[in-house]
Structure formats: C-alpha cells, structure tokens
C-alpha cells in the first residue's frame, strides 16, 4: 500500500496536468522582446527553445553582418577572422569571444 504521507519523487499525473495547463510564451511575444532589446542597443540577443529567424544567430554589433549562424544546437556559419574581428567591417570581437575559434567543419554540427 502506498504511503501518501511521504513525498513523491515524481508525480506523473500532476506533471501531465501541469504541462496541459501551461501557457507557452508565444512566438510573437518572444519576437517583440527580441526587437525591443535590439532597439535598446543590446549587442547579442538570443531567443531560445523556438525557431526564430534571427534569435539563434550572432551578428556583428557594428555592421550587423552574420558572423555565427545557428540552427538549434548546430553552427551553420562561422565567419570571424583569425584576429577575432568581423570580416566585413573589421570590428574587433576580441573582448566578446572567449577562447579560440574552431572552424573545422565537423564542429559546425556538434552539440554543445
């Protein structure tokens, strides 16, 4: 017989009910937040857990060139010079990129 006085590690029924009642943040709301942050002048804005046209990518803060393209957890484009600058306008990204840049194609589709 189950002792209801003891805490349960996982209550499947309650969890399913919670998920069914959860109201997810809409694409429109996340897109609006993205644009507000961009208009406010933030450099690196990301929208996660949803397919967003720009929310997974990294753009040059100076010229808006796409320097890191992402699709989910995959890199689709890495366009940063060896000196850690934007290849289009030369803006230095040295203070924003920590570590080394690995442009090997095998890393374009790695999970991090």
User: Minimum distance between the CB of residue 64 and Zn ion, rounded to whole angstroms?
Assistant: 7
Choice from 16, 42, 71, 89 touching Zn ion (CB under 5 A)? 89
Q: Which is nearer to Zn ion, 72 or 90 (CB)?
A: 90
Site string for Zn ion, 36-55 (x = CB under 5 A): --------------------
Decide: 60 and 91 in contact? Cβ < 8 Å: yes
Question: If binding is defined by CB under 5 A, does position 86 make contact with Zn ion?
Answer: yes
> Phi-psi category of 33—alpha, beta or left, where left has phi over 0 and alpha has psi -120 to 50?
alpha
Tokens encoding 15? 């969890």
Question: If binding is defined by CB under 5 A, does position 80 make contact with Zn ion?
Answer: no
Choice from 36, 50, 63, 110 touching Zn ion (CB under 5 A)? 63
User: Minimum distance between the CB of residue 91 and Zn ion, rounded to whole angstroms?
Assistant: 4
> Phi-psi category of 72—alpha, beta or left, where left has phi over 0 and alpha has psi -120 to 50?
left
In SS3 terms, 70-86 reads as EECCEEEEECCCCCCEC
Residues that bind Zn ion (CB under 5 A): 60, 62-63, 65, 86, 88-89, 91
């Amino acid at each position: 017989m189950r002792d209801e006085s003891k805490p349960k590690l996982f209550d499947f029924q309650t969890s399913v009910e919670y998920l069914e009642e959860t109201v997810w943040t809409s694409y429109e709301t996340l897109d609006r937040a993205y644009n507000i942050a961009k208009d406010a002048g933030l450099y690196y804005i990301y929208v996660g857990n949803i397919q967003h046209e720009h929310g997974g990518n990294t753009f040059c803060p100076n010229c808006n060139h796409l320097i890191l393209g992402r699709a989910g957890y995959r890199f689709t484009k890495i366009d940063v010079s060896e000196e850690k600058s934007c290849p289009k306008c030369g803006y230095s990204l040295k203070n924003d990129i920590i570590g080394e840049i690995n442009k090997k194609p095998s890393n374009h589709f790695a999970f991090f």
